[in-house]
Structure 1
Amino acid sequence: MMKIEIWSDYVCPFCYIGKANLLQALTELQVEAEFVWRSFELDPTYPIDGPSHHYDVLQQKFQVSAEQAAEKCGQLAKIGESCGLKMDFEQAYYGNTFLAHQLQQYANSIGSEQGHAINQLLFDAVFNRGLNINHIDVLADLATEAGLNHTATQKALQSQAFATAVRVDKASGQELNITGVPFFGFDGRLAVAGAQSIDAFKEVIQHILNHDASEDAKLTRQ
């Protein structure tokens, strides 16, 4: 089974879109994969008590008007819709994600099925439901939707038992020179950065399946 490591952040629309395209590529090729959900904070310095709006972030980061920010988000929403995703930027959460990544790490420790479910629930919570994923109670409620114990989840988050695991992923990303997400690693052989198209993901997957590692450099140079 192919192993795919994915570094992403839940407030990143490109991560949500890239993941959807990857899953569709795997479905079309009828390939099963083992996912490893890696933590990457887009803005680790973002205030813990300062949830914001994607429009505001775009305005500040790119020095654009409110109208331009809304237009950009509208374009992203249309791309998401083409991937089968609902992305409601009118209410989408933007803020600190350190606690949410700890939930991901906790779910990963329980099992791959739970980790996969939590990953999807966190993206949905941000872009579809507009939930503040920087609150322990909100995250514990999401955990129950993935079949995790509510009380155990609260305790894990309150104790910051999985904070180190988040930092370890951050360190591994730095070693790989990951400066942005999404970032996808395939079987420890090939890496793909950005929200690639379904066809681009299919090309990488088919290469892994049909070639040995000695041929990887040929695809990398393309």
Structure 2
Amino acid sequence: MRVEIWMDVVCPWAYIGKRRVERAVADFDGDVEVVWRPYRIDPSAPVPGEPLAEVLRDPVADEALRACAPGLAPAENRLRVDLIAAKEGLGPPWGAAWRASSHDAHRLIALAEPAGVQDAVVEALLRAHFVDAVDISDREVLARVVGDVFPEGVALLDGDAGEERVRELLLEGRARGIRTSPTIVVGDRALAGAQPPEVIAEFLAEGGERRSVPSEVERYRWAESLLDQRDPLGALVLLRPLLSEHGSDRSVRLLAARAWYASAQLGRARAALEELVAAHPADAYAHVLLGRTLQRMSRGEQAGPHLRLGAAMAEPR
């Protein structure tokens, strides 16, 4: 069974959730493969990090911590998580000392997967942030943290290794409805939060498989979901390989045109839509979207025929 855990290494519930998943898996009757996926609770966290004690005096910055404990005030969450962490055998000492970007940490986690050391890297990063209380946005710190388990990993950070993978995974998570850290996913089912081990065990026992669809179709659906969530630039990131490999596909071109239109890349939208209406003159939606694109480009006279034609074709007969 493949278990995906979407989490941010700067979310304390992720560390608690890791311990609970480990206990549930230990008692599970069957083989379990755990893979770690990125989630960002504080995308604006800086490099280098800043002392967390100072940040927590700012009520606006403190709100970022709600993402890993929905429904709780940040101060209440911190007190609760301290007590629960102790019960899970984490610390002492316990507690993050830095508000730090987790971007490079997530790159390391992604790069560690094919190397077969992903879990060890996750454990090292979580311990560094919450027990050793170091700044995991600092690459020199990261080198010390993962040096024993993934020594080749930190050198990869000097280039762009893992950048595209992490960015796509973050977009995939958003498209799939991941909204909190941690979220455990088996097949098409998700369990949000660091649930007790018995709840996780029950969730695992129910099994589940991802719907068997071609990877291109899955990627298309994720891009469509992001566009529906008003993230056209994210949709275009996921569409990039589809446009490269299946650029002549009508559905792919139309979805890309919608994303270009929504992100005000009107020249690209117009070019794609003109090709579509030439190849598929009966596509009412393509005519309407082309008309709206031309309107936004202040080309009203050219827009009119497409808008009227699209409206006429859409009328019930």
Given the superposition, is the C-alpha separation of residues 207 and 120 from structure 1 closer, same or farther in structure 2, using an over 3 Å criterion? same
Match runs of 1:1-222 below 5 Å = 2-53=1-52, 56-57=55-56, 60=59, 61-62=62-63, 72-86=77-91, 88-89=93-94, 92-111=97-116, 114-146=117-149, 148-149=150-151, 152-186=152-186, 188-208=187-207
- Structure 1, unmatched stretches of 5+, are 63-67, 214-222
Partners of 1:178 and 1:5 lie apart in 2 by 11
1-side partners of 2:171 and 2:76: how far apart? 35
2:155 and 2:6 mapped to 1: Cα distance?
25
Q: Name 2:284's counterpart in structure 1.
A: none
- Report the Cα offset of residue 177 of structure 1: 1.6
**3-state DSSP of counterpart to 2:6:** strand
- Among all aligned residue pairs of Structure 1 and Structure 2, give the percentage whose two residues are the same amino acid: 27
User: In the aligned structure 1, how far is the partner of 2:176 from the partner of 2:54?
Assistant: 31
Deviation of 1:87 after TM superposition, in Å, equals 6.1
Asked if structure 2 preserves the Cα contact closer than 8 Å seen for 1:93 and 1:127, the reply is: no
Give the match's secondary structure for 2:90.
coil
Q: Report the Cα distance in structure 2 between the residues aligned to 1:55 and 1:139, rounded to whole angstroms.
A: 23
The equivalent of 1:218 in structure 2 is: none
Whether the 8 Å contact between 1:92 and 1:128 is mirrored in structure 2 is: no
Indicate the residue corresponding to 2:236 in structure 1. Answer: none
Q: Which entry has the higher C-alpha Rg, 1 or 2?
A: 2
Question: Unaligned 5+ residue runs, structure 2?
Answer: 64-72, 211-317
* Cα distance between partner residues in 1 of 2:148 and 2:170: 27
**Secondary structure of residue in 2 paired with 1:106:** helix
Question: Counterpart amino acid of 1:14?
Answer: W
Q: Which amino acid is the alignment partner of residue 181 of structure 1?
A: S
Give the RMSD, CA atoms, in angstroms: 2.7
Q: Which has the higher contact order (CA 8 A, sep 6+)?
A: 1
CA contact (8 A) 2:109 2:121 kept: yes
| Cα gap change, 1:29 to 1:101, in 2 (>3 Å) | same
Question: Matched residues in 1 for 2:55 and 2:128: separation?
Answer: 19
Q: 1:28 to 1:54 in 2, by over 3 A?
A: farther
Contact 2:39–2:170 at 8 Å: present in 1 too?
Answer: yes
Q: TM-score, normalised by structure 2?
A: 0.57
